[in-house]
Structure 1
């Protein structure tokens, strides 16, 4: 089971900014794949985010 910090599907016109995302989890059933996953998403802005320990 994979975990995602932000999952956007079929979406547009959103802004994701100033977030701190860590892939470390306390749930042993989740992987540390956390991050941003965009599927069929366009015209979105992702900026000034900090990701660590993902993938």
Structure 2
């Protein structure tokens, strides 16, 4: 009977890191939209939404 190796491979670790990266990029975009909404509510119509560069979508 073969012993099953349990552990995290480099590919698994990179895949998890990419998922976390995408999640944080989405959270940063939502944060920017909230800040823009607050500025618009206070009457400040001179707002910009910074573009986030480096959004990586992991593929299996």
Question: Given the two structures, how large is their TM-score scaled by the length of structure 1?
Answer: 0.22
Q: Would you tell me which structure has more strand in proportion to its own residues? A: 1
Higher relative contact order (CA 8 A, sep 6+): 1
Larger fraction in helix? 2
